[in-house]
């Protein structure tokens, strides 16, 4: 029996018999040249579906309370320092992506931030992670992230530590 590819018998061998058996057992399987068949429980619709519509959820934050903002800010900054841009080995706070942090009397937080570029491939992931990590702070009741583009981000917004780490100094 000759091999026609990596580990694939030409025909008639035990692997082709197994493939035929699998294909017969699951006729919806799109490929018959592999012994792998995804279980019926796997739903791959999310991979091919269009992105969901924005929820339109607006921040429900009351008037900014400077005292609450000041008391929460150190904890929020520490949480933000655990969020990294996947393409840059520096946290988003040191990159200068966080513009403002507000909190109201009920400890609801609004973080205004930007991204390094409007075409940032992590434009969905980073703000979601920011919101999740800020909401996880025990004294925060809720959190929202607002992406702003003014002023635009540039490397001058980075901290000295970030510039040093990235070799800009």
pLDDT below 50 — which residues of the chain? 3-9, 15-23, 29
Distance in angstroms (rounded) separating the CA atoms of residues 12 and 4: 12
Mean pLDDT of the chain: 80
Domain ranges of the chain: 3-48, 66-166
**What class does CATH assign to 66-166?**
alpha beta
Number of H helices and number of E strands within the chain?
5, 5
Q: What per-residue confidence (pLDDT) applies to 54?
A: 54
pLDDT score, position 169 = 76
pLDDT in tens, 124-165: 899 999 999 999 999 999 999 999 999 999 989 999 999 998
């Amino acid at each position: 029996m000759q091999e026609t590819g990596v580990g694939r018998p030409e025909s008639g061998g035990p692997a082709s018999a197994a493939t035929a058996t699998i294909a017969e057992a699951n006729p919806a399987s799109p490929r018959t040249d592999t012994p792998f068949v995804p279980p019926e429980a796997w739903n791959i619709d999310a991979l091919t579906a269009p992105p969901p519509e924005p929820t339109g959820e607006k921040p429900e934050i009351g008037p900014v309370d400077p005292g609450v903002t000041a008391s929460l800010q150190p904890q929020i900054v520490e949480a933000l320092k655990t969020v990294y841009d996947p393409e840059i080995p520096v946290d988003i706070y040191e990159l200068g992506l966080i513009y403002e942090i507000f909190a109201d009397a009920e400890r609801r937080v609004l973080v205004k931030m930007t991204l390094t570029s409007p075409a940032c491939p992590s434009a969905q992931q980073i703000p979601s992670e920011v919101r999740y990590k800020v909401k996880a702070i025990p004294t925060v009741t809720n959190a929202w992230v607002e992406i702003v583009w003014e002023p635009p981000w540039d490397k001058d917004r980075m901290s000295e530590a970030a510039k040093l780490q990235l070799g800009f100094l």
